[in-house]
Amino acid sequence: MTCPPCRVVDTLVNKLAMEYPNVGFYKVDVARFPDVSEKCHVTATPTVQFFRKGKMVDSVRGANIQEITKKVEALCNVNGAETAKAFGVVGHSDLTHLVLKKKSECLNQNDDKPLENVFTQDASALESDIDAQLLLHIAFSQPIKLHSIMVEGPGDQAPKTIKLFANRMDIGFDDAEDGAPATHVVNMTKEAYKKGGVAGLRYVNFQNVNSLSIFVADNLGDGEVTAISKLAFIGTAVDTANVSDIRQGEEGHSH
């Protein structure tokens, strides 16, 4: 993305990816992957191609922002697809079912009130052990685009400062507290919990998440025990279709 028109389209694609979470947006560096550009008949950059069910249905050459946006809108309105909604977040789904519970863990948990409790429908909860801090390592069965998290906790024991680290299953307490920069920091309040406990994230930073490390630094009451009664992940699953399966579209024009 070195040429000015390519940078313009790159910015636009990032914006559209946030506005249309149920659409898969993919970027290909034709210098690194010439075989892909050859198969898709890309002869000029930037080129935006639109695919439905593996077949190219339209394309735009050049940094034509209005035309690209118009075609995305038109294709999304085809068949009047129903918009997803999870915990009040329109356009996204509850992805908690994609959590690999056996590959996920929580450090400093009370073994009598473990991580598994946040994924049940009963009144059980996850609680910290020797102090208020918790460090959760959550693995997903496939890559996801994470838009928001939903947290519930009992009263003053509910989490207050939450640091999120995308794809950092190796992170420890020292790194989480003082060292590694967080992908996003959430500051929960009593008002936020009253409104459902949903915290929006900087979506562009969570576009290909295979795992999520969650560091809870403290709780609303600044007590020794932090508790989480429910935790959910809101976003869309990443389409893992192989680009080699894309059927060749119409042959493009030359420069």
In DSSP terms, 159 is beta-bridged to 219
Neighbouring CB atoms inside 10 A of 28's CB total 15
- In the chain the beta strands, taken as DSSP E runs, fall at 47-52, 55-61, 85-86, 89-90, 93-94, 105-107, 126-127, 134-152, 161-166, 184-187, 198-200, 209-216, 227-228, 230-237
- The residues near 242 (Cβ < 8 Å, ≥ 6 apart) are none
Q: Which of 3, 40, 76, 106 is catalytic?
A: 3
6 catalytic per annotation: yes
Neighbouring CB atoms inside 10 A of 86's CB total 20
39-45: long-range contacts at Cβ-Cβ below 8 A with a sequence spacing of 24 or more?
A: 39/244, 39/246, 39/248, 40/246, 40/248, 40/249, 41/248, 41/249, 41/250, 41/251, 41/252, 42/252, 43/252, 43/253, 43/254, 43/255, 44/252, 44/253, 44/255, 45/3, 45/5, 45/6
Neighbouring CB atoms inside 10 A of 233's CB total 24
Q: Which of 6, 40, 76, 106 is catalytic?
A: 6
**Active-site residue list:** 3, 6
